Each structure stands twice: as C-alpha cells, then as structure tokens.
Amino acid sequence: MKRNKVQRSIANGLNTLSSNKIAKYAVYLSALVLFFVLILLPPIFGIIIKWNSIPTVLSQPNIVNGALGAIGNSFWVALLVSALDLVAGIPMAWLITRGKSRWLSVLDTLADIPFIVPTAALGYSLLLFWYKPQGLASLFGGSLISPGWLLVLLLHFTFSYPVVVRVLVGALLDYKMEYERASRTLGAVPFMAFRTVTSPIIKPSLIAAFVLSFARSLSETGATFIVAGLFQNGPVFLQTMKNNFTGGLVSQATYEGATVFASLILIVASCAIFAFIWILGPRFKFPFRGVWPGAERRLSYRKAAGSRNTVTLLVFFGIVLIPALFVALPAFQAVFTPILPAALSGSGIWGSYWQSLLISYLLGATVTVLGFLMGLPMAVLIARRKIGKTPSAVVDILVNVPLIVPSIALGASLSFFWAQSFPGMPELLLLIFAHLSITYPYIVKSMSAAFERVNLDMEEAARTLGAKPFSVFTTIVLPLTKYSILSGAIMAFTRSVSETGATVAVLSANSPFQTAPVVIVNWVKGVVTASSLEIGLGAGLLVLLSFVILFVLRLVTRGKGRY
Amino acid sequence: MPNIRVVNLTKKFGNVTALENISLEVHDQEYFSLLGPSGCGKTTLLRLIAGLIEPTSGEVWIGDKRVDKVPPEDREIGFVFQTFALFPHMSVWDNVLYGPKVKNFNLKEAETIGDEVLELVKLHERLDAYPSELSGGMMQRTAVARALAAGAKTLLLDEPLGQLDAKVRNEIRYEIRKMAKDLKLTAIHVTHDQSEAMSISDRIAVMKKGKIVQIGTPQELYMNPNSLFVAHFIGESNFMEGILTRAQDGAVEIELRGGFKVHAVSEKLRDEERVILAVRPEVVTMETGTVERENALAGTVEKITFEGTFMRYEIRLSSQDVVVVNRPSLTEEWIDVGRSVTLSFPPEKTHVFAYPEAGLSEEIAV
C-alpha cells in the first residue's frame, strides 16, 4: 500500500514534469549530449589524436600495400555478398510470406538461427563443415574448401543472409496485397506483378537489406579471422596488426600508425559508400519499361516456381543452416568423452571459458539496458521530430554511423581516444563503451521506427481524455510498441554477444575481460591450445545458449505485437 | 455547461493559411456543426478548440476561461476522432476507464462512471471485447462513451460518422444528438455531409477556404442563403444568368438568357446589374404544353430519373440552359422525355445574387 503511494507520487511528479517544456527539452538535450560525447565523437577524436602516427607507416610500403589490399578485399567481398544475399533472400522471403504450407513458420524460425549464433562459433562451424576432415570434406577424401577468400565469402553469406530475409519478410508482410492483386487482375502474371509493382514499392526495404548486409560484412572480425587463412580483409588486417604488436613483431608506433591509417580509410570509405547508397538509392529506378509476357509467364507457374523454391531451400539448408549448425557434431561427440566433465568442472581452459561466457552475457545485458535508457529519448526525438524537421533527420542519419563503420576500426579509435583523454580509465568501462557504440543504433532505430508507426490519433485521444504527456507515453505508446522494442533489444544483445572485432581492439592481450567469441577465436587460432572436440564443445555450448535465449523470447512474444 | 468562443483565430501551416480570422460563439448546450468541403479548415478549427494544435494568433475560450495556451488534457473536452482512435491494446472497459484513471479518480468512482456511460451507449455486454472485435457502430459508441467517461463538458466530434455504413450512420447521428442533449453538453460536430448537418444541428457554420461563409439554423441556411456558395452547398439550386432590368421596393425584374422575363425579390441589388437567379428544384412547378403563368419558362423534358420519393426532371429551355425540377414521384403524373413543358415558380421563393467576379463555377466550386 505504501509502495503504491510512493509509485503514484513519482508518477505524478513525472507527469507534472512532462508538461513542463523546459524539463522535456532537458531530457532531449541530455540524450543528444550523451550520444555525441559517448558514441559519435570519441572514435572521430581517437583518429585525430593519433593523426601524427600515420607518417611512420607511409614510409613502410609493405604495410601500406597490405592495408590497401585488405581494405579493397573488404569492399568487394561485402559488395558480392550483399548482392548474392538479395538474389537468394528475395525468393526465400517470398516463400515464407506467400507460400501456403504450414511448415513455413518453422522455416521462418530456422532462418533466424544463423543470426543468433555468435559469429565466432559460426566461423568455426563453417571451417569444420567445408574444410576439416570430419566435415563435408570427408565425403571427398580431402578438404573441400581451404581457408581463404571463398570460405570468407561463404561465411559472410551465411551470417548476413538471415538479416536480409528478416528485413524482406517484414517488408512483404507490411505491404498491401491489394496492389499485387490489382496488378494480377490487370493481366500481369505473378512474376511480372512482383517485378513491376511489388519490388518498386518495397524498394526502401531492399536498399535497407543491402545496406545492412554490406555493413555486417565490412564489420565482422572474429569469424573472418578464423576462416581467412592467408586472405586478409580490413578487419583481419587490423587484428593481425594487433596480434603482431602484442607478439612484439612490430613497434607501437607502427601498430598505431597502421591502425589509424586503415581505420581512417575504412571509416571514410564506408561513410562515402553509404552516403552514396542513401542519396542515389531512392533515385534509382528499376528498368520496368518492357515486359516479356512469354518468358515471365514461364517463370511464374508451377514448374518454375517449384524449381525456384527447391533451389532456395537447397541454398538455405546447404549453404546457410547446416554449415552454421555443423559444430553441433563435435559438440555432441564431446559429450561422451571426459571433456564434458572437465568442462563442467571448469578445470583447465574451461575456467576462462565459463568466465568469458558470463562476461559476454553480462556485457550484452548491460549495454542493452544502457542503450535503452540513452536511446529512448533519442528515439522519441527522431520519431516525433522534436527538434525540428531537418535537425531531427540529421540526427537520424548520424545514429547510423556506428552501424556502418567496421567495428574493429571503431573499437581501435575509441580506445585511442579514451586512453589518451583518461589514461587510468578501467578496461571494463572501455569495453562497455565500445559495445554500447555498436548496439546503440539497433536500439534507437527499432524504437523510433516503432514509435513512428503509432498513430498520432492514439496519442491525441489520450491527451483529450486527460492524460499528461508522460502518462500518454507509458500507457499508450510503450504498450503498443513493446514487442518492437523487445526485438530491437534482442538484436542489440545478440550483436554484443557476437562482437569480436571491437572487443579485441579495446582489450589488452591478457585482459581478464575476454568475451566468449574472443576465447573461441584464440582456441581456433592456437593462441590457447585446445583440441578440436574441446573447441567444438565450447562453440556448441555458445550456440546452445543462444538457442535457449531465442526460444524463451519467442515464447514470450509469440503471436503478440500486432494489433 | 460552457459556451465556446473563438476570437480572431488564425492558423498558418508554413505559408498556407488554414484559417483566417475566425470568430464564432457556440452557445451553452447547443449542438453546433462546422460544415464545408474538404480542405475548408473545419477540422483545423476543431483541433484548435481541442488544443491538439496551437493557433498562430487569436483566442479560444471555454466558459469564462481562456484556453488557447492550456494543454488538451486540461480543457475538459471530449474529442471523438474520425478513426475513433480506440486503444487497440485495451478492452472496451479499459478504453472507457482510461480517462478517469489518468485523472487519478479512485477506482470505485471510475468504475461507477464507466458503468453509467456504457449503459448510456448500450455496450454493457461487450465490455471485455477488444476494438478489433467490434463493428463500426460499436466502435463509434465506445469512442463516445470514452469521451464522456473522462468528464467531458463539451463534445468535439471530428467526422464521427464518416467511417460508418449509410444506414448505421443515419441511426447513430440522432443517438449522438440525443445523448448530448440529455447530458446538457455543448457539442461541435464537424462534417462535410450537408444532410447530416441539417438533420442534427441547432446551428451550422458553413466554411469555405479557411473562412466562415454563413452561420445560421438549418432553416435559415436553406431558406436564406447569403451567397451562391451556400445556396449551392446546402441543398440543390438551379442557377440562371440574367440582367436586372428593374428594381423597386425589393421586387425585381430580371431578363434571363434567351429573353425570359421573370420576377423575383431582392433588397440589395440595383438596375442593369449582371445577376444570377437561384431557384430550388422542388419549388418549380411543371405543366405540359404552353401555359400562361407568371415566371414561365418554356422547354422540353430531356431526362427523367426516379429517385424514390421524387422524380428528377432535367428540362432544356429554349435558351439551351438546363433546369432541374423535382416533383413528388407517387402523387403526381409522370411526364415523358421529349414532351414540351412550361415551368414556373413563385417570385418570393427565389434568390438573386450579384454575378461573382471570379465567375460562377469558381464561386461555387467545392
């Protein structure tokens, strides 16, 4: 009873405050300040601070060429992967949303799996499947695909495919079928209807899917490092530099110079490319002048649709799902060996494994909560254009920046900035800031998108019924958007648990705060000696835990969130 | 309950002036309508009164309190949205109790109020239903009940019947009026449907392009429209061009196109002026053949439409103008297409307007 009274008086206080314009703008202002001070500016200043170290590197052509080659590799891999993702993702999304089988909801869930598998475990899984003797290779009596660019390409395809499918499924579900039906009644065969009516309407989602998979591919570090072999892309180059530095192979000046040089080019090039896509994307028109009734008719009906679906499913199971989950095999084998009791008792390498797992999940939870608190006013500000139309739109774009910057470059420049400005800053805090930067855009984007979908009539109705702005927010806006917010939080959480590059960049070599993906990478790369069954079990447990979390959240959110 | 007053109210959206210098008083317990074509500013005016948007200049008064700086939640208004805006995540009961709850009433009191209003709108059986499970009419009644439960002293209705079927619409419009009257509320009802406004309003303000053209009871607007726009928008009118040849003591003589000389009444207009004569279709009498009458117009029946209660005839005059005539369909003999007829109408049932500078079609455009 007493607690109720306290709650009520707090709510009253907040309500009174929420009617106060000054208080309202103070909240928005602090959200903006936090965003600039903690997230946007530190990486930029980090690079400026270390500006002077670039000349050291420019005099070493082998490093400059290595960096440029690696960055070039990053971009062509990203481009190719994103294009392949769209080609494979569109028919999959189509099948999930338009197919009639009741198994499609299972397929829908399965498509999410590679997304929640931490990429380091995914990388190991792919390595096993395509390369190691116990994988697919055993059928061919040798290695099928050795570590190198092809395996990197397959890996990136595997982890970005679910993102593309998810975005496109969402777009196709929101899209009004009437347009397509109208097109059919006017004489278009299904393929033509999709090409001429549906795809132009969902174009923003197609662009978003492309951008997301492109950014994801540019950014991924841990798994790429596992499967890259001698092939280097930007993040692998940066990680190698770091390893060489901690191994005493290069001087600090060379390490810093190379890192700043490569990070700067990666950041500037990504920003330029994404600006280019954002500006030109909406102007890009599909060439829809011509129709080819004969060919499109053949592409539309039974046989063609059947073979299209078959190929789609083969790609999904053969290239995405089975390789992603292949790590379950050694994990399962390990269960019947003494490795399991050793793992459970935490002896040997397992002590640090369990600790890293705990750190990963605690870190994920912490940055998700912090991101939510910091991002909530920001999302309102963006969705309701609280600081004017143009400034709000500018903020909306700026929030994306950490999303498109390769995370290892982000982490490196971030650590330069904080190490320089606050030399005694605890490593843990640095780790939190780095993960916050990476996850913040996911949270803000999903919340602001959800708020935008709340009909303004609802809020106005609540106001006319006597609710103060704070009450309107807690009783109308939040309940209507909670499932979208939750899914944003899940994305942020899984992203944090998966992140390797930024973690490696901010942690010292013997840091006690090694996260699970870092530990797995170290095992696979032989930094810490572990048998293949041990690695399999470690990666498998990581996957299993991710499954449990996804399953629980699916249970919680099932069938809800759409009114 | 309170009267509502707006004084010199102006609202601009960027460069666009949505409302220009509007002044208006709605009396205590009056059922008042804002009527006009889409884009005339009627919804903007209602939202200004509710406080959902802020005026560029001018005052809004509810009772003896100036409210144009007061937020909507403190204005004691009930607003019914065109989309109903029922909260989809709450049942009927929770929607209705939302107002009392956010206003911190104690729960008992809130529930008593909820019971009362649901009784009033006859929705007691559906109080556990969610908005998506209700018919349009039920959603509409829930929206009204919710507004009433919040303690509204005035009811602001924005096209409240716009989303309902024609039959339901006709039933519910009288229900809303009766409810407002029983509860002694002041109500402002926005609509673009002139028959809806005519049938339920005590008074109507006809609006056009951000301004009020005329305010009056339905009868006044119908019988004495002050402009071509109102004559056209409320009911139906035949417009015929002519020159005023003689004006004396309020009686005028007009020479219409085609040489017809007719008599009408007008206080304001002078000789030689170009005018438009407005005659409602139902005041025109029609006889077959050529008959000597005052205000006679000769023509031929060109088209007949059966409209239920009346027959609608289109008569082409020898001047090539077309006049519409409505005659009772069941009590009068029908006249076939192609017959020659004589039309006539009493002078005192006509309206004469100066020819608008912008031209007739521009003046009456909606």
Interface residue B77 vs chain A (CB under 8 A): yes
- Round to whole Å and give the CA distance between B46 and B141: 20
Residue A562 binned pLDDT confidence (cut-offs 50, 70, 90): very low
Residue A9 has pLDDT above 70, yes or no: yes
Residues A273-319: pLDDT tens digits?
A: 888 887 887 777 765 556 677 777 777 777 778 888 899 999 999 99
Interface of A with B in 453-482 (CB under 8 A): 455, 457-458, 460-468, 471, 475-476, 479-480
- Quote the radius of gyration of chain A (alpha carbons, Å): 25
Residue A409 has pLDDT above 70, yes or no: yes
Look at residue A499 and give its three-state secondary structure: coil
pLDDT at residue number A32: 94
Strand partners, B80: B157
Residues A151-197: pLDDT tens digits?
A: 999 999 999 999 899 889 888 887 777 787 777 777 777 777 888 78
B329, B280, B285: which is closest to B308 by C-alpha? B329
Asked if residue A448 lies in contact with residue A273, where contact means CB atoms within 8 angstroms, the answer is no
pLDDT at residue number B10: 96
- Retrieve residue B160's tokens: 């409240």
Within B180-309, strands assigned E span 186-191, 203-208, 211-216, 238-248, 251-256, 261-265, 274-279, 285-288, 297-306
Q: How far apart are the CA of B85 and the nearest CA of chain A, in angstroms?
A: 5
Mean pLDDT calculated for residue range A328-337? 86
Q: Which residues of chain B have pLDDT under 50?
A: none
φ, ψ dihedrals at B77, nearest 5°? -115, 160
**Domains present along chain B, CATH in parentheses:** 4-230 (3.40.50.300), 237-364 (2.40.50.140)
- Round to whole Å and give the CA distance between B190 and B194: 11
Residue A560 has pLDDT above 60, yes or no: no
Q: How far apart are the CA of A12 and the nearest CA of chain B, in angstroms?
A: 9
Interface residue B290 vs chain A (CB under 8 A): no
- What is Dmax (Cα atoms) for chain B? 78
CB contact under 8 A, A463 and B72: yes
Nearest CB to B85; choose among A455, A468, A563: A455
Asked if residue B60 lies in contact with residue B6, where contact means CB atoms within 8 angstroms, the answer is yes
Residue A563 binned pLDDT confidence (cut-offs 50, 70, 90): very low
Which residues in chain A have Cβ-Cβ distances shorter than 8 Å to B89?
479-480, 563
Residues A31-40: pLDDT tens digits?
A: 999 999 999 9
- Round to whole Å and give the CA distance between B60 and B62: 7
pLDDT at residue number A160: 92
Asked if residue A438 lies in contact with residue A496, where contact means CB atoms within 8 angstroms, the answer is yes
Q: How far apart are the CA of B297 and the nearest CA of chain A, in angstroms?
A: 50
CB contact under 8 A, B151 and A466: yes
Helix axes A2-19, A21-34, angle to 10 degrees: 90
Q: What is the DSSP string of A308-369?
A: HHHHHHHHIIIIIIHHHHTTHHHHHHHHTSTHHHHHHHT-TTHHHHHHHHHHHHHHHHHHHH
Nearest CB to B146; choose among A457, A465, A471: A465
- Round to whole Å and give the CA distance between B81 and B366: 23
CB contact under 8 A, A464 and B89: no
Which residues in chain B have Cβ-Cβ distances shorter than 8 Å to A461?
79, 81, 85-87, 146
pLDDT at residue number A287: 59
CB contact under 8 A, A467 and B79: no
Asked if residue B148 lies in contact with residue B76, where contact means CB atoms within 8 angstroms, the answer is no
Which residues lie below 8 Å from residue B272, measured CB to CB, with a gap of 6+?
B243, B244, B245
Burial zone of A59 (CB within 10 Å; 0-12 exposed, 13-18 middle, 19+ buried): exposed
Interface residue A13 vs chain B (CB under 8 A): no
Strand partners, B341: B288, B299
pLDDT at residue number A292: 74
State which H helix or E strand residue B59 sits in.
strand B57-62
pTM to 2 decimals?
0.79
pLDDT at residue number A557: 66
Look at residue A468 and give its three-state secondary structure: coil
pLDDT at residue number A2: 53
Interface of B with A in 143-162 (CB under 8 A): 146-147, 150-151, 156
- Round to whole Å and give the CA distance between A44 and A52: 14
Nearest Cα residue in chain B from A461: B85
Q: Counting one residue from A and one from B, how many pairs have CB atoms under 8 Å apart?
A: 73
Nearest Cα residue in chain B from A476: B87
Interface residue B50 vs chain A (CB under 8 A): yes
pLDDT at residue number A185: 75
- Retrieve residue A230's tokens: 């001698």
pLDDT at residue number A1: 46
pLDDT at residue number A559: 54
Interface residue B14 vs chain A (CB under 8 A): no
- Round to whole Å and give the CA distance between A469 and A332: 54
Q: Indicate the average pLDDT of chain A.
A: 86
Q: Which contacts qualify for A341-347: CB closer than 8 Å, 24 or more apart? A: A343/A534, A343/A537, A343/A538, A343/A541
Mean pLDDT calculated for residue range A45-64? 89
Asked if residue B19 lies in contact with residue B57, where contact means CB atoms within 8 angstroms, the answer is no
Which residues in chain B have Cβ-Cβ distances shorter than 8 Å to A476?
87
Residue A7 binned pLDDT confidence (cut-offs 50, 70, 90): confident
Residue A3 binned pLDDT confidence (cut-offs 50, 70, 90): low
Burial zone of A482 (CB within 10 Å; 0-12 exposed, 13-18 middle, 19+ buried): middle
Q: Determine the length of chain B.
A: 366
CB contact under 8 A, A466 and B99: yes
| Chain B contact probe: residue of A1, A457, A464 with most B CBs at under 10 A | A464
Asked if residue A409 lies in contact with residue A238, where contact means CB atoms within 8 angstroms, the answer is yes
Interface residue A559 vs chain B (CB under 8 A): no
Residues A65-122: pLDDT tens digits?
A: 999 999 999 999 999 999 999 999 999 998 998 888 888 888 888 888 888 788 888 9
- Round to whole Å and give the CA distance between A399 and A415: 20
Which residues in chain A have Cβ-Cβ distances shorter than 8 Å to B98?
462, 465, 467, 475
Q: How far apart are the CA of A313 and the nearest CA of chain B, in angstroms?
A: 37
A421, A303, A441: which is closest to A368 by C-alpha? A441
- Round to whole Å and give the CA distance between A146 and A535: 19
pLDDT at residue number B1: 60
Residue A461 binned pLDDT confidence (cut-offs 50, 70, 90): very high
- Retrieve residue B193's tokens: 């449907």
pLDDT at residue number A561: 46
CB contact under 8 A, A465 and B73: yes
- Retrieve residue A266's tokens: 């990666």
Which residues in chain B have Cβ-Cβ distances shorter than 8 Å to A465?
73, 78, 98-99, 102, 146-147, 150
**Domains present along chain A, CATH in parentheses:** 16-49+328-563 (1.10.3720.10), 66-326 (1.10.3720.10)
- Give percent above pLDDT 70 in chain A: 96
- Retrieve residue A519's tokens: 């530990």
Angle (nearest 5°) at CA A19 between A488 and B95:
65
